[in-house]
Structure 1
Amino acid sequence: MALREWVGIYLKGIAMGAADAVPGVSGGTIALITGIYERLITAITELDPRALALVPGAIRAEGRARLRARLVEMDVWFLAALGLGVVTALVTVSRAVEYAEETFPALLFAFFFGLIAASAVVLYGEVDVSTPRRAFAGLAGVVLAFVVAGEVAGALPHTLPVVAVAGAVAICAMILPGISGAFILLLLGQYIYLTETLSTFVDALLALVTGGDASALVAAGSVVAVFGVGAVAGLLTIAHVVKYALTHYRAATLTFLVSLMVGALRYPAEQVLGNVGAWTPARALPVLAAALVGGVLVVAIDRYTDDLDLASEVDAGEDPAPAAPDGGNR
């Protein structure tokens, strides 16, 4: 790729990362806006771990040529440039989130509430719940998210296995239009912990470069590494499951995913209530304003993308989904 294309993909990665770093806004939607969604999904599903078998042969010129050709075929360089932009944004936004959570948590979670609530309202206009199957999927999504947000999110420990699973699930949400990876982490009670850990890791890395202690780097780095491993595993496994579900049960799957956002509103609402204390006009107005800002942000993005059809764009470039037995879309 030419340097200009590299920079363009990197900047699109920054936009995706900034969107995915906050619950309620989807990096997949940004990929649609910037015209790279089909290429992204194709590159992810073309990733093949068997290409690693070519690495030992790279000591010879012909081996390097085969490895390079395979990497180009899988569009790895595109994913690398895009991923670098995503990481850049995640590191930057995580710092802001950590500061906000420590300084004014009620406003932060009110902002998240506005983001998630507005996203749910907007996305429900893109799904169809006119059949019993879809209505059941929607109800199941609301109930599951409500229970997880209240009973599971606070109980899940911040252990490495939990972090790995969270990474695997969140990465799939990050590539879906409308569903935010940060929202999944928030639902699982891992969002604040992981944003703080990422900031700690970056600080420790900078300190090590300047001659500091490596102990903090090892502790935070292990969490970041395990999350990354989980994310890669998710891309190679769960992403294919999600793709299958969207291809064969598109309407019901989208209804379920959007309904998760409704039930999950319990978590930011409880966080707001727990951090406000006594409600007075002086405390209520900033909270309402923060929620309004989050909602307006989502509505603005929706207006910019009002010509995008979520139900059809998620399968951009694929063959039409098989018809359900009754001839309709399940």
Structure 2
Amino acid sequence: MKFSHYLLLTLKGCAMGMADVVPGVSGGTIAFISGIYEELIESIRSVGVEALRLLARGRLTAFWHHINGSFLLAVLLGVAISIFSLARLMTYLLTHHPIEIWAFFFGLIVASALLVARQVGTWNWRTGLSLAAGIAVAWWITVVSPAETPDDWWFVLLSGAVAICAMILPGISGAFILLLMGKYHYIMQAVGDLNIPVILVFVAGAVSGIIAFSHLLSWLLKHWHDCTIAVLMGFMLGSLNKVWPWKQTVESYTDSHGQTMPLVERNILPDTFERLSGSDAHLGEALLLGAAGFLLIYAIELAAKAVLRK
């Protein structure tokens, strides 16, 4: 194929990477919009036993063609470029403009959950129960988990394995999963600082996770489509407890750098936040950015419909 074709694939990968950095926007949705979703799924699923046999026998050319290597390399290169270039920006915004950026995320997730609901073919007691279970589990995680989850290698590995499933599933974001697991800021900081050990462990989890989940999600969506989508929607709605912009620190701890960090937080109203903290709640900016995040998801949906009509 021509160089221009692979350049276009890399640009589409960049768009996916940008989406995966922002909680609420799915890289899988961008893959769907840009017309590479089905090829991406099939290419990932091809990395299996047969591919490993070819690699073990030293048949590198056959292995590369079997996994559609040129396609995967171009797309993943674009994803990596976006993630590494945007990580520092997201870390800066979370540190210096937390209320505004959390409000933006809140709007993104609300709109995403509503769009995911449209993918449920039939709402009945099964899908309703699945939705309730998803909300309950996500809400429980945000309530019982402290603001800081373990930074140990096994949890970073697990975070990568779970979060990567979003890349192959339209409607749910990898950054959203990291947010739910309390590892979003930590991974963004590691990428921005080029913390190679953390990045390598996370990537190892992502590689193993995407291969396993590509088969699992394919089976679940084929046999339990509506219930699976309802659970995912429930996860998104339940996570809103975690991304509420105004919080009061109930318990704190001192990290390894001597900085005081929140350990347990509770959600409060903007006026309560101003009264307790003596700081501006930035309500106007939060409402504006929340609306912007909400509308962004619908703009992406309109773009998807325009692509399908062509």
Q: Deviations over 1:247-286 (max 9, x none)?
A: 11001101111111100000011x4334973079872111
- Equivalent in the alignment of 1:133: 126
- For 2:189, the aligned partner's letter is E
- Equivalent in the alignment of 1:315: none
Q: Deviations over 1:126-161 (max 9, x none)?
A: 324522111110000011111112322625212111
Q: Distance in 1 between matches of 2:289 and 2:67?
A: 42
1:70 to partner: Cα distance = 2.5
- Equivalent in the alignment of 2:246: 272
1:94 to partner: Cα distance = 1.1
- Equivalent in the alignment of 1:3: 3
**Cα pair 1:129 1:255 within 8 Å, conserved:** no
Q: Distance in 1 between matches of 2:56 and 2:118?
A: 52
- For 1:291, the aligned partner's letter is G
- Equivalent in the alignment of 1:232: 207
Q: Distance in 2 between matches of 1:56 and 1:308?
A: 41
- For 1:303, the aligned partner's letter is L
- For 1:302, the aligned partner's letter is E
Give secondary structure in 1 for the equivalent of 2:94: helix
- Equivalent in the alignment of 2:298: 299
Give secondary structure in 2 for the equivalent of 1:130: coil
- Equivalent in the alignment of 1:200: 193
Aligned with residue 252 of structure 1, among 227, 233, 240: 227
The change in CA–CA distance for 1:282 and 1:102 in structure 2 (over 3 A counts) is closer
Listed as ranges, the matches of 1:305-316 within 5 Å are 305-306=304-305
Give secondary structure in 2 for the equivalent of 1:127: coil
Q: Deviations over 1:98-124 (max 9, x none)?
A: 110121111111111111111112222
**Residue 196 (structure 2) pairs with residue 221 (structure 1):** yes
- For 2:235, the aligned partner's letter is L
Identity of aligned residues (%): 37
**Cα pair 1:153 1:188 within 8 Å, conserved:** no
Count of aligned pairs: 283
**Residue 159 (structure 2) pairs with residue 166 (structure 1):** yes
Q: Distance in 2 between matches of 1:56 and 1:23?
A: 38
Listed as ranges, the matches of 1:33-112 within 5 Å are 33-48=33-48, 51-52=51-52, 54-55=54-55, 58=58, 66-112=59-105
- Equivalent in the alignment of 1:217: none
Q: Distance in 2 between matches of 1:260 and 1:25?
A: 14
**Residue 89 (structure 2) pairs with residue 113 (structure 1):** no
- Equivalent in the alignment of 1:215: none
Q: Distance in 1 between matches of 2:293 and 2:105?
A: 7
**Cα pair 2:54 2:62 within 8 Å, conserved:** no
- 5+ residue gaps, structure 2, are 250-269
1:307 to partner: Cα distance = 6.9
**Cα pair 2:165 2:213 within 8 Å, conserved:** yes
Question: More strand per residue: 1 or 2?
Answer: 2
Give secondary structure in 2 for the equivalent of 1:35: coil
Q: Deviations over 1:68-105 (max 9, x none)?
A: 12211210121111000001111122111011012111
Give secondary structure in 2 for the equivalent of 1:137: helix
Q: Distance in 1 between matches of 2:113 and 2:73?
A: 31
1:174 to partner: Cα distance = 1.9
Give secondary structure in 2 for the equivalent of 1:177: coil
**Residue 142 (structure 2) pairs with residue 149 (structure 1):** yes
**Cα pair 2:16 2:30 within 8 Å, conserved:** yes
The change in CA–CA distance for 1:195 and 1:49 in structure 2 (over 3 A counts) is farther
Q: Distance in 2 between matches of 1:118 and 1:88?
A: 27
- Equivalent in the alignment of 1:289: 288
**Cα pair 1:128 1:255 within 8 Å, conserved:** no
- 5+ residue gaps, structure 1, are 59-65, 202-219, 310-330
**Residue 169 (structure 2) pairs with residue 176 (structure 1):** yes
The change in CA–CA distance for 1:124 and 1:105 in structure 2 (over 3 A counts) is same
- For 2:301, the aligned partner's letter is D
Q: Distance in 2 between matches of 1:193 and 1:143?
A: 25
**Cα pair 1:187 1:267 within 8 Å, conserved:** yes
Query: TM-score with structure 1 length normalisation?
Result: 0.80
